[in-house]
Chains A and B, each alone.
Chain A
Amino acid sequence: MNKIPLFKELKHDRWVKPFFKQYKKTLVTALILGFFTFFCGSALMFNSGYLISKSASLPVNILLVYVPIVLTRAFGIGRPLFKYLERLTSHNWVLKMTSKLRLKLYQTLEKDAVFFKRDYRMGDVLGLLAEDINHLQNLYLRTIFPTVIAWIIYIFVVIGVGFFSWWFALVMLLYFGGILIVFPLWSVIVNGARQKREKVLKNELYTDLTDNVLGISDWIFSQRAQEYVALHEDSEAELLAVQAKLRKFNNLRNFLFELAFGMLAILTLLWTSTRFIGTHGGDANWIAAFVLAVFPLVDAFAGLPAASQETNIYADSLNRLNNLPDKAITKKVETDLPQNPLDLKVQHVSFQYTATQKEVLKDITINISQGEKIAILGRSGSGKSTLANLLRGDLQPTKGSILLGDAVVSTLDDTVADYIGVIQQVPYLFNTTVINNVRLGNENATEKEVWDVLERVNLKKMIAALPNGLETMVDEAGLRFSGGERHRLALARILLQNTPIVILDEPTVGLDPITEQALINTFMQELKNKTIIWITHHLKGIDNVDRVIFIENGILEMEGSPTYLEQTSARYRNLKNIDNGE
Chain B
Amino acid sequence: MIDKAIMRLSGIHKLMGLLAGLDVSQAIFIIGQAYNLSSAITGLWQGHGLAAQIPAIIWFIVFFLARHLINYLKDEMLDKFAATKAKELRRELLEKLFRLGPQIVQREGTGNVITMTLDGVALVENYIHLILNKMINLTIIPWIILAFVFYLDWESGLVLLLVFPIIIIFMIILGYSAKAKADRQYKSYQVLSNHFLDSLRGIDTLKFFGLSKRYAHSIYSTSERFRKATMSTLKIAILSTFALDFFTTLSIAIVAVFLGLRLIDAKILLFPALTALILAPEYFLPVRDFAGDYHATLDGKNAMTAIQKILAEPEIKANPVVISTWSEESSLVLQDVKFSYGKNEFLQPVNLTINGYQKVGIIGMSGSGKSTLVNLLSGFLQPQQGRISIDGNELKNLNQDSWRKQLLYIPQNPYVFEATLRDNLTFYTPDATNEQVRAAIKVVGLEELVSELPEGLDTQIGNGARALSGGQAQRIALARAFLDQERKIMLFDEPTAHLDIETELELKEKMLPLMQNRLVLFATHRLHWLQQMDIIVVLDEGKVVEIGKYQKLLAQKGYLYRLKNRMGGKLNEQNTLV
B242:A214 contact, CB within 8 angstroms? no
Among B228-246, those with CB < 8 Å from A are 230-231, 234-235, 238-239, 241-242, 245-246
Contact assessment for A287 and B44 in the assembled complex, using a CB-CB cutoff below 8 Å: yes
Q: Which residue of A lies closest to B577 (CB)?
A: A514
Bound Cα distance A262, B36 (Å): 13
Asked if B83 and A91 sit within 8 Å, CB to CB, the answer is no
- CB<8 Å pairs between A and B, sample of 26: A41-B249, A45-B252, A59-B264, A62-B261, A79-B249, A81-B242, A84-B239, A114-B207, A122-B464, A216-B98, A221-B378, A243-B83, A262-B65, A269-B44, A273-B44, A380-B503, A428-B201, A428-B202, A430-B198, A514-B567, A515-B365, A517-B569, A517-B574, A543-B569, A575-B502, A581-B567
B538 located at the interface, meaning its Cβ lies under 8 Å from any Cβ of chain A in the complex? no
Bound form: Cα–Cα A378–B501 in Å: 9
B220 lies within 8 A of A102 (CB): yes
Contact pick for A126, options B191, B200, B230, CB 8 Å: B200
Which residues of B160-214 are within 8 A (CB) of A? 191, 194-213
Would you call A421 and B101 a contact (CB within 8 A)?
A: no
Of B2-10, B352-360, B400-408, the one with at least 4 CB within 8 A of chain A: B400-408
Residues B204 and A52 in contact, CB atoms below 8 Å apart: no
A403 interface hit (Cβ, 8 Å): no
Asked whether any CB of chain A lies closer than 8 Å to the CB of B395, the reply is no
Q: What's the least CB distance linking A325 to chain B, in Å?
A: 15
Contact A417–B210 (Cβ < 8 Å): yes
Q: Is the CB of B404 within 8 A of A221?
A: yes
Q: How far is the CA of A240 from the CA of B122 in the complex (A)?
A: 11
Do the beta carbons of A514 and B365 come within 8 Å of each other? yes
3 closest Cβ contacts across the A-B interface?
Answer: A581-B527, A417-B210, A76-B253
**Which residues in A have their C-beta under 8 angstroms from that of B213?**
110, 414
Contact in complex: A428, B257 (CB < 8 Å)? no
Q: With contacts A113-B203, A431-B194 known, is A95 near B230, CB below 8 A?
A: yes
9-residue interface stretch from A14-22, A67-75, A162-170, A333-341: A67-75
Within 8 A of B (CB), among A492-530: 493, 497, 509-510, 512-515, 517-518, 520-521
Taking CB atoms and an 8 Å cut-off, the chain B residues in 83-137 that contact chain A are 83, 87, 90-91, 94-95, 97-99, 101-102, 105, 110, 113-114, 117-118
Cα–Cα distance between A99 and B224 once the two chains are bound (Å): 6
Tell me the bound Cα distance from A55 to B37 in angstroms. 19
The residue that B528 contacts in the complex, of A226, A240, A578, with Cβ under 8 A, is A578
**B339: shortest Cβ distance to chain A, in Å?**
19
Is B150 an interface position by the 8 A CB rule?
no
Say yes or no: A73 contacts B253, CB within 8 Å.
yes
The bracket for how many chain A residues form the interface is 35 or more
Most A Cβ at <10 Å: residue of B219, B462, B566? B219
1/0 per position for B498-522, CB-CB distance to A under 8 A? 1111111100000000000000000
Distance, CA A428 to CA B198, complexed state (A): 10
Question: Contact: B566 with A514, CB < 8 Å?
Answer: yes
List 16 additional contacts besides A79-B249, A223-B404; criterion CB under 8 Å.
A45-B252, A48-B253, A88-B234, A207-B464, A214-B415, A251-B79, A279-B46, A288-B274, A379-B500, A431-B194, A440-B206, A512-B525, A578-B504, A581-B530, A581-B564, A581-B568
Task: State whether B277 touches A110 (Cβ < 8 A).
Answer: no
Contact with B along A204-227 (1 / 0, CB 8 A): 011111111111111111110110
Interface stretch among B12-20, B265-273, B329-337? B265-273
How far, in whole Å, are A67 and B502 apart by their CA atoms in the complex?
A: 93
Which of B70-78, B385-393, B443-451 forms part of the interface with chain A?
A: B70-78
What's the Cα separation between A206 and B111 when bound, in Å? 10
| Inter-subunit contact A110/B216 (CB<8 Å) | yes
Report A-chain residues with C-beta under 8 Å of the C-beta of B526.
513, 581
Q: Is the CB of B273 within 8 A of A72?
A: no
A247 to B79, CA, bound (A): 7
With contacts A109-B203, A130-B197, A428-B205 taken as known, whether A213 is within 8 angstroms of B105 at the C-beta atoms is yes
Find chain B residues with CB under 8 A from A580 CB: 527, 567-568
B47 within 8 A of A: yes
Judge whether A252 is part of the interface by a CB distance below 8 angstroms.
Answer: yes
Is B50 in contact with chain A by the CB < 8 A criterion?
Answer: yes
A106: interface (CB < 8 Å): yes
- Contact of A251 with B76 in the complex, beta carbons under 8 Å: yes
| Chain B hits for A538, CB < 8 A | 500-501
A residues near B91, Cβ cutoff 8 Å: 229, 233
Q: Shortest CB–CB separation between residue A136 and chain B, in angstroms?
A: 14
Closest CB in chain B relative to A1 CB, distance in Å: 31
Given that A98-B223, A244-B79, A513-B525 are contacting pairs, would A379 and B503 also be in contact in the complex, using a CB cutoff of 8 Å?
yes
Q: Which of these, A211, A243, A278, A415, contacts B418 with CB under 8 Å?
A: A211
Cβ-defined contact, B263 with A55, below 8 A: yes
B320 at the interface (CB under 8 A from A): no
Which residues of A (533-582) have their CB < 8 Å from a CB of B?
A: 537-541, 543, 575, 578-582
In this assembly, does B295 line the interface, its C-beta being within 8 Å of a C-beta of chain A?
A: no
Within 8 Å by CB of B574, from A52, A202, A521, lies A521
A218 and B414 CA atoms in complex are apart in Å by 9
B202: chain A residues at CB < 8 Å are: 428, 430
CA distance A381 to B200 in the complex (A): 26
A445 within 8 Å of B (CB atoms):
no
Tell me whether B223 and A209 are in contact (CB under 8 A): no
A214 to B224, CA, bound (A): 39
A395 within 8 A of B: no
Contacts of B44 in A (CB 8 A): 269, 272-273, 284, 287
Please determine whether A72 and B253 come into contact, CB atoms closer than 8 angstroms: yes
**A73-B110 in contact (CB<8A):** no
Closest-by-CB residue of B relative to A263 is B61
Query: With contacts A277-B47, A515-B366 known, is A295 near B427, CB below 8 A?
Result: no
With a cutoff of 8 Å between Cβ atoms, the chain B residues found around residue A284 in the complex are 44-47
Chain B residues within 8 Å of A122, by CB: 463-464
- In this assembly, does A481 line the interface, its C-beta being within 8 Å of a C-beta of chain B? no
Which residues from 271 to 330 on chain B have a C-beta closer than 8 Å to any C-beta of chain A?
273-274, 277-278, 281
In the complex, chain A residues whose CB is within 8 Å of the CB of B411: 217
Partner of A206, one of B114, B199, B201: B114
Contact B500 A380 (CB under 8 A): yes
Cβ contacts under 8 Å, B46 to chain A: 279-280, 284
B497 interface residue per 8 A CB criterion: yes
Q: Is A281 an interface residue (CB 8 A)?
A: yes
Chain A nearest CB from B406 CB (Å) reads 10
Q: Which residues in B have their C-beta under 8 angstroms from that of A130?
A: 196-197, 200
B409 at the binding interface (Cβ < 8 Å): yes
Instruction: Name B76's contact: one of A248, A394, A418 (CB within 8 Å).
Output: A248
Measured in the bound complex, the distance between the Cα atoms of B203 and A106 in whole Å is 9
Q: Which of A65, A69, A278 contacts B47 (CB 8 A)?
A: A278
Instruction: Give Cα A81–Cα B194 distance, bound, in whole angstroms.
Output: 33
A389 → chain B closest CB, angstroms: 11
Assess whether B204 is in contact with A117, with CB atoms less than 8 Å apart.
Answer: yes
Distance of A403 Cα from B364 Cα, bound (Å): 46
Contact between chains at A210 and B110 (CB < 8 Å): yes
Interface centre among A77, A229, A296, A430 (most CB of B within 10 A): A229
Is A291 on the interface with B (CB-CB < 8 A)?
A: yes
- Is B69 a contact of A269 with CB atoms below 8 Å? no
Are A431 and B191 in touch, CB under 8 angstroms? yes
A52 touches B277 (CB 8 A): yes
Are B191 and A213 in contact, with the CB atoms below 8 A?
A: no
Chain B residues near A126: list those with CB within 8 A. 197, 200-201
Say if the beta carbon of B259 comes within 8 Å of chain A: yes
- CB-CB under 8 A from B556, the residues of chain A are none
| Contact digits for A88-118, partner B, Cβ 8 Å, 1 yes 0 no | 1001100110111011011101100110110
Neighbour of A262 across the interface among B61, B196, B234, CB < 8 A: B61
Is A297 close to B, CB under 8 A?
A: no
Q: When chains A and B are docked, how far (Å) is the Cα of A103 from the Cα of B199?
A: 11
Contact B102 A217 (CB under 8 A): yes
Q: Is A380's CB under 8 angstroms from B212's CB?
A: no
Give, as a whole number of angstroms, the nearest-CB distance from A249 to chain B: 11
